[in-house]
Amino acid sequence: MGAPALTVAALLLAALATVAIGAYGVRLSRTTSDFLVASRSVSPGWNAAAISGEYLSAASFLGVAGLIAKYGADALWYPVGFTAGYLALLLFVAAPLRRSGAYTVPDFAEFRLGSVRLRRLAAVVVVLVCAVYLIPQFQGAGLTLRILLGVPSWVGAVAVGAIVIANVTGGGMRSITLVQAFQYWLKFTAVALPALVLLGHFLGQDRELGTAAPPVVTERTTVDITTDVVVQVGAGQQVSIVGTVDGRRVDGPVALAPGEHELAAGTELVLESGSAVPVVGGG
């Protein structure tokens, strides 16, 4: 079985597991409380796993990786920022909401302030927030399937949307909680395995942690630049480039001097075996 076939098999397995767990949650959802808040019976461990699974969403999982690839380690402040915001949300919104007995934020607004208008305003704000949140999720799903399988971006958005809608309408919060908890452990494994492999690689090289590892390619490699980026070149080298470098159009061999160079989106680099890889400036 080749790499594309393994990729398809892994994606189908993850999708089928998500649907199966959601279907299991449908059997446990019989009342309004089951559907909206899982009867408030979710254990702290499952709840923590579900929240963490939501936190490792396509927007944060892929978006933060892309920001770090483009802007360097300084982009790590982005996840720190929205993590702090999430904790504030749990403390100042989720906790009072649970104590009030309300199911949704609009319910809580009307219960606390006794205003139907405020309830409607809160409902509009919730819908807008959800819409803004879903845009990068669908974008990430489409981008992932386009890269892995070569299908149009809309296919990933439609597939993910169909699975999520089926789980939500069928089993409500109980199904969603179980699915998110499962996805957390799946994503955690996907992150942990490469990290452990890289750790073993670096520890086995008699190299002190924190020292630079000169990145080189072992075979002729083509690099496609999909977004404007500034790269750092440690030593001058000859590369073949088709695209825009430092504001000028290039088509053929180019001598990159040591220092920073700006590569425009759509540029293609061809690195010969043994060539040093230009790294993101500030990374």
Instruction: Give residue 128's pLDDT.
Output: 92
Dist. CA 104–CA 108, nearest whole Å = 6
- Give long-range contacts, CB 8 A cutoff, 24+ apart: 109-117: none
pLDDT category, 32, cuts 50, 70, 90? Answer: low
DSSP character at residue 12 = H
Is residue 217's pLDDT more than 60?
yes
Instruction: Give residue 213's pLDDT.
Output: 54
Is residue 228's pLDDT more than 60?
yes
By residue count, the chain amounts to 283
Q: What is the pLDDT of residues 272-281, one digit of tens each?
A: 887 777 777 6
pLDDT category, 140, cuts 50, 70, 90? Answer: confident
Which of 167-201 are b and which e, b meaning 16 or more Cβ less than 10 Å from the residue's Cβ?
beeebbbbbbbbbbbbbbeebeeeeeeeeeeeeee
Helix (H, G, I), strand (E, B) or coil at 201: helix
Q: Are 254 and 245 in contact (CB under 8 A)?
A: yes
Instruction: Give residue 161's pLDDT.
Output: 81
Q: What is the pLDDT of residues 33-87, one digit of tens each?
A: 666 666 666 777 777 777 777 777 766 777 777 777 777 777 788 888 877 887 8
279-280 and 237-245 strand pairing:
unpaired
What is the rounded average pLDDT of the residues 193-221? 69
Q: Are 56 and 134 in contact (CB under 8 A)?
A: no
The CA-atom distances, in angstroms, between 184 and each of 24, 43, 177 are 18, 15, 11
CA proximity to 241, closest of 233, 68, 215: 233
Q: Are 163 and 15 in contact (CB under 8 A)?
A: yes
Which secondary-structure segment (H or E) carries 260?
strand 259-263
Is residue 270's pLDDT more than 80?
yes
Query: What's the farthest any 2 CA atoms get from each other in the chain?
Result: 71
CA proximity to 60, closest of 169, 183, 172: 183
The token pair at 216 is 């080189």
Is residue 138's pLDDT more than 80?
yes
pLDDT category, 21, cuts 50, 70, 90? Answer: confident
Domain spans in the chain, listed from the N-terminal domain onward: 3-203, 221-280
Instruction: Give residue 25's pLDDT.
Output: 64
CA proximity to 49, closest of 165, 210, 189, 157: 189
pLDDT category, 124, cuts 50, 70, 90? Answer: very high
CA proximity to 231, closest of 243, 246, 242: 246
The token pair at 104 is 């949704």
Contacts with 267 (C-beta within 8 Å, 6 or more apart), sequence order: 224, 225, 241, 242, 243, 244, 245
Is residue 221's pLDDT more than 80?
yes
Is residue 206's pLDDT more than 60?
no
Q: Are 39 and 31 in contact (CB under 8 A)?
A: yes
